Amino acid sequence: MSVQHADVVICGAGIAGVSAAYHLALQPGIGHIVLVDERPPLTLTSDKSTEAYRNWWPGPDDAMLRLMNRSIDLLEQLDTASAHRLNLNRRGYLYVTGNPAAVPALVASAQLGAQLGAGPLRVHGGSVHDPVYVPGNAEHWQEQPDGADLLLDPAWILRRFPYLNPASLAALHVRRAGWFSGQQLGMILLEQARARGVQLLTGHVDSIDTRGGRVRSVRVKVAGGEQELATPVLVNAAGPLVNSVAAQLGLTLPIFSELHRKMALEDRFGILPREAPLVIWEDAQQLPWSAEERAALAESAETQPLLAPFPGGVHFRPEGRPGSQTVLMLWAYHSEPVPPLLPLPADPEFPEIVLRGMTTLVPGLAAYLEKLPKVSVDGGYYTKTRENRPLIGPLPVQGAYILAALSGYGLMAACASGELLAAHVAGRTLPGYAPAFVPSRYEDPAYQRKLEAWGATGQL
């Protein structure tokens, strides 16, 4: 077995690992960096993303918002430097409710987001004195508004977004949000990392030597044998496999996984406008079934759950260049923790459930229920902490670091998260939001009490 020396070994070449490699390669004094993965880069879950981003993170403090604002700053810099190679747009996220009881919560969320620093809140109530509403640019982000527009006039909402459920009462259009090419982001970071000497090693991390309570080496199974990497620093950026790498360090992490699927449908009837933002129906619902269908579903214990209430959060966005008919549709109606099995287990009911739920948001999509169109389904695991905040920073084993639990927001958070991880490893000055993400936060009794008080902070 050959032995190679490295200043840093990164386990996992998803978007988190690639971003960590890029930002570490920028640090003075850090030389040889090895990025290890048994799969091609950006292929486990990073290529299954919706590729959306937002700076809208209402919560108990502004840590997530500050992390995401920094990440979006870096995305915009990369998009500019690469001549718009990321195809970054700022179409926004549109949160919609048709439930009168939910309107105050939407208003409160809008006010909190503005208070935390997401940008100004513009309220549109149907008055001639309302501020000007600026439609989103479907293809670019420059010279676009930030903050959010709170839309409280149902008639105005339907004039602007006529495809929505006529029962829509209020909508929140978050403006520093949209989507981009995640694969292009990953390739730009990887290309520049490798140009700075980062080595990509194809193999499986088999064991980690932590004698004396510190990282000493990493053993990797490679084609034709084994490779030992003598190193003082290991970064665990293994995505949904992060717990298996942690176990080799003798650690148990407060991380679990949820399975999230998405489907791509060809909107051949042109029901959804191609310039639409990412649109989310906030309300819980029961799937629309005919009386005959309901009776048939009620006869079997296996199908009775299809008659029960489903959670809110069904959402869509257009996908592809002009001329495309593809629409991405998502609904995490199962959110229980599961082991990250690969390949993903099949769910033959997913396309019809999502399409039926989507007809509550966009009734016109019912045109596809008579004959369900051919769809493609993929997905991945949201690897997350209880409060849906990432783990970024040092682990209890000396020389071990983590960049993980980027639950469904890995692409949008990748740039700032990799930058923060590199600052930890290089011993550089940390930004003010860094303490909110270090693994050691769970050792603080005050943080535990805070957790009990606020619950999950994540939003779609």
Q: Give the gyration radius of the chain's Cα atoms.
A: 23
Mean pLDDT by 10 residues, the chain (460 residues): 93 98 97 97 92 94 97 98 97 98 97 97 95 92 96 97 98 98 98 98 97 97 95 98 97 96 96 97 97 96 96 97 94 94 92 97 96 91 95 98 96 98 98 98 92 61
Domain range list for the chain:
2-51+182-255+386-454, 93-176+257-381
73/91 Cα distance (integer angstroms):
16
Q: What is the pTM of this model?
A: 0.96
What topology is assigned to 93-176+257-381 in CATH?
Answer: D-Amino Acid Oxidase; Chain A, domain 2 (3.30.9)
What's residue 456's pLDDT? 53
What's residue 137's pLDDT? 86
Domain pair 2-51+182-255+386-454 / 93-176+257-381, same fold = no
Handedness of CA 164, 169, 172, 173 (dihedral sign): positive
Both tokens assigned to 186: 């990953």
What's residue 56's pLDDT? 95
Instruction: Map residue 413 onto helix, strand or coil.
Output: helix
393/451 Cα distance (integer angstroms):
19
What's residue 84's pLDDT? 97
Query: How far lies 400's CA from each of 245, 394, 424, 447, 450, in Å?
Result: 11, 6, 11, 23, 27
Which residue, 163, 207, 178, 161, is CA-closest to 52? 178
What's residue 4's pLDDT? 95
Top CATH class of 2-51+182-255+386-454 equals alpha beta
What's residue 129's pLDDT? 94
Answer for the pair 407, 382: CB distance below 8 angstroms, yes or no. yes
Strand partners, 121: 148
Burial of 376 (0-12, 13-18, 19+ CB in 10 A): exposed
Beta strand pairing call for 148-151 and 170-174? antiparallel
What's residue 374's pLDDT? 85
What's residue 414's pLDDT? 98
Strands, E, within 113-168: which ranges?
A: 121-124, 148-151
